[in-house]
Structure 1
Amino acid sequence: MGWIFVFLAAMSEIVGVIGLKLYSQNKTIRNLILYAGGFGLSFALLYTSFNYLQLSIAYAVWIGIGTVGAVLINMILFGESKNVARVISIIAIVIGVAGLKAVS
């Protein structure tokens, strides 16, 4: 159950990142709700996951999924660079997150 909360928290963080990007470009209520709501829900879900998982593992996996998701979304939707170093870094993060989940 804890991993579901971590995954949902990471997805909410990605929504918050999208909202932050959109809000920085166009300050509308919709973008503010995406930004604040995404991050707020993310923290609430992460906090709930601590009832089931060790804080250090849950937090590291949440950060990893959120970081990879944010980078991929920014590369796909917002035209950030897609150079080899970024792709290798994303792969390294995914391997690290998978390793942490495997040992917990």
Structure 2
Amino acid sequence: MGWLLIFTASIFEVVGAVGLKLYAEKKNVLRLIAYWGGFFISFVLFYFSLHYLELSIVYPVWVGLGTSGAVLTNIFLFNEPKNMQRLFGLAIIIIGVVGLHMTM
């Protein structure tokens, strides 16, 4: 259950980050809801995941998956560059998250 919560929290963290980017570009209520709502739900799910998993696992996984999701979202939605350095860094983050998962 804890892994499902933290995975879902990471998805909402990406929603919040994308909402923040969109809100910074053009302010309207829908983008504000995506921004605040995404981060709020992410924090709530993060909190509940701590009932099942240790903080030393939850926090890096949450941040790593959120960062990876934000990078991939920006590459595909906002046409950010797909160079080898960026993809290599992304691979290292994902390997680290998988490595933490394997310690449980």
TM-score when scaled to structure 2? Answer: 0.98
Q: Structure 1: which 5+ runs fail to align?
A: none
Task: Give the secondary-structure state (helix, strand or coil) at the position aligned to 1:80.
Answer: coil
Query: Percent identity over the alignment?
Result: 51
Instruction: Give 4+ residue runs of structure 1 displaced > 2 Å after superposition.
Output: none
2:31 matched to 1:31? yes
Alignment: residue pair count = 104
Cα distance in structure 2, aligned partners of 1:6 and 1:46: 6
User: Which runs of 5 or more residues in structure 2 are unaligned?
Assistant: none
Q: Which residue of structure 2 lines up, in the alignment, with residue 82 of structure 1?
A: 82
Q: What secondary structure is seen at the aligned counterpart in 1 of 2:67?
A: helix
Shift of 1:55: 0.7
* TM-score normalised by structure 1 residue count: 0.98
Amino acid in the other structure paired with 1:32 = L
The separation in 2 between residues aligned to 1:41 and 1:88, in whole angstroms, is 30
